[in-house]
Structure 1
Amino acid sequence: MSSTIETPRESPSERAPKQDAAPGAGIADPGPLGLAAFALTTFVLSLFNAGLAPEALEPIVLPLALFYGGIAQFLAGMWEFRKGNTFGATAFSSYGAFWLAFAAYVQFIEPKLEASGVTETDVKTATGIFLVGWALFTLYMLVASLRTTGALVGVFATLFLTFALLAIGDLAGASTIATIGGFVGILSALIAWYASAAVVTNATWGRTVLPVGPRS
């Protein structure tokens, strides 16, 4: 009887290199976070744009724009990159950066323009140009959203109208149009909140409780 201990032969499957897990496989869906961050910040700012909240209280938007609409939404976009979702990554990263840029503009740039002697009309023109760029971005994101869900189409359609109306209001000096833009912004926020709630609720319950509309 031999005293030599033989090592068991490996099967072909054991010799094969181990496959890494799919990118983003262990990451929860960041979509509800991004939508909720967008919704709350948009809702609060739109209350002021619509004239439903006292203008003197408008600075309360800044912390939301920095930490929730800005940083939290931007992080949601980064996680969407990890999950391989090009649409979600582009949307959340961009709108997160929008809120950070908006906070910086209101806190640093707008006062600097006013202190340098720039007229109020020119300051509104600068704001309008800022908003026009975001309206154009939102327009092509709206086109892309047509291949997602009805809820997201609603978010991007109303958001495009919000940016467009606010931009026209600032560029043309038409406060009534800007006020309408504020009301449309509230609607956009409500739809985004619904979309966020639907994803969280449906995932938690394991079935469709809140429908988001069929994909086209």
Structure 2
Amino acid sequence: MDNDVSAGNTSTSTLGHLALGLTLLAFGIGHTGAVGGVTAADAVSLALYVGGIALFVAGLLEFRAGNGFTGTAFAGLGAFWFTWGAGADARVSDHAAGLFLLLWALFALTLTLGAAGRGLLGQGTYGLLFVALLLLGIGQFADSGFLTKAGGWLAALAGLAAWYGATAALAHWPTTVPRRAAGRGATATG
């Protein structure tokens, strides 16, 4: 996921990525309508406590350990999930909800750009989150069920990526694809 989540490291970064992954999975699946009777509103408790509070605390611990990027990602996303979960019962217009999601999409874009050089899995997670929030926000403005479902699927994929990265760190699974030489008989020149 990033430099903090390498195979064998069981730091707060791993716990934070698990919290992010589980919350994104519940949030995303709820928006897809793939499971009968399950909506995004059913993810409110998970978003509030696991995605909000636990992820925010993991972010603070990452800041304390000197990991500025991971601290920013976890504390910021913890604030997103807490705000989303706490405001779930509030009556807001579709445009206000869309604006909320679009503003947080900008935060996810910042994380995507900031994750450059930290591994494709981490950058992919934040990139998928960015596109998911973008589609969900536009879907709110346009009252489009199709965009909402597409955003939900991308959020679920981002959740799977975050979950895999954390699980890989605990289970000593690979998080990168080994590079192969350009072709048969290729050698490095130097």
Q: Does the alignment reach a TM-score above 0.5?
A: yes
Q: Does 1:128 align with 2:98?
A: yes
Letter in structure 1 aligned against 2:121: A
Contact 1:161 1:184 in 2 (8 A): yes
Query: 150, 174, 188: which one pairs with 1:210?
Result: 174
For structure 1, which runs of at least 5 residues remain unmatched after alignment? Answer: 1-27, 114-122, 203-208
Larger Cα Rg: Structure 1 or Structure 2? Answer: 1
SS of 2:148's partner is helix
Q: Does 1:61 align with 2:43?
A: yes
Query: 16, 23, 26: which one pairs with 1:44?
Result: 26
- For residues 188 and 56 of structure 1, do their structure 2 counterparts lie closer, same or farther at Cα, with a shift above 3 Å needed? closer
SS of 2:27's partner is helix
CA RMSD of aligned residues (A): 1.9
Counterpart position of 1:70: 52
Contact 1:150 1:213 in 2 (8 A): no
Count how many residue pairs are aligned between Structure 1 and Structure 2: 170
Q: Distance in 1 between matches of 2:38 and 2:126?
A: 29
Deviation string 1:52-107 (CA, Å, 9 cap, x unpaired) is 13456554312111211111111110110111011000000011111110011113
Deviation string 1:161-200 (CA, Å, 9 cap, x unpaired) is 1001001101112221111111111111110101111222
Query: 122, 133, 144: which one pairs with 2:114?
Result: 144
If asked which structure has higher relative contact order (CA below 8 Å, sep 6+), I would say 2
Counterpart position of 2:79: 97
TM-score normalised by the chain length of structure 1:
0.73
Q: Distance in 2 between matches of 1:55 and 1:128?
A: 23
Query: 2, 9, 12: which one pairs with 1:30?
Result: 12
Contact 1:201 1:210 in 2 (8 A): no
Q: Distance in 2 between matches of 1:56 and 1:201?
A: 30
- Please state how far the C-alpha of 1:201 moved relative to its aligned partner: 2.3
Contact 1:62 1:103 in 2 (8 A): yes
